[in-house]
Amino acid sequence: MTDALWAALADPHRRAIVPLLLERPRPVNELVEGTGLSQPNTSKHLRVLREAGLVRVRQDGQRRVYALDPAPIAELDAWLAPYRRLWNDSLDALGRRLDETPAAPATPTEGESP
């Protein structure tokens, strides 16, 4: 996994762009509306995402339409897989522990008789 990918995803504005592009390819003006950033700032963030390989751009007349490139996301997913197993194992162990613990009796609320 490249440092450019991590650097691109480190910025919260760029991370806000990714879910918008997950829904569908979008022109810059829709991304400006979706992020609340100015057009120049949105374009700067898109350039970083493009250079990291996370997005592709195509011309559609006068507009540039951006789309996610799934390959770097798959690379990130593969890198996270061992950690996901660790989290799942820990959560499974917690679930087993909670299943073994007897439930505490419910305490009456105020005004309720026991």
The ranges assigned to domains in the chain are 3-69
- Asked if the model's pLDDT at residue 27 lies above 90, the reply is yes
Nearest to 25 by CA among 71, 65, 70: 65
What pLDDT, on the 0 to 100 scale, is given for residue 108?
Answer: 65
Tell me the per-residue pLDDT of 59-69, one tens digit each, with 9 for 90 and over. 999 999 999 99
What pLDDT, on the 0 to 100 scale, is given for residue 17?
Answer: 97
What pLDDT, on the 0 to 100 scale, is given for residue 99?
Answer: 86
Beta strands in 6-80 (DSSP E): 26-27, 55-60, 63-68
CATH topology of domain 3-69: Arc Repressor Mutant, subunit A (1.10.10)
pTM for the structure as a whole: 0.72
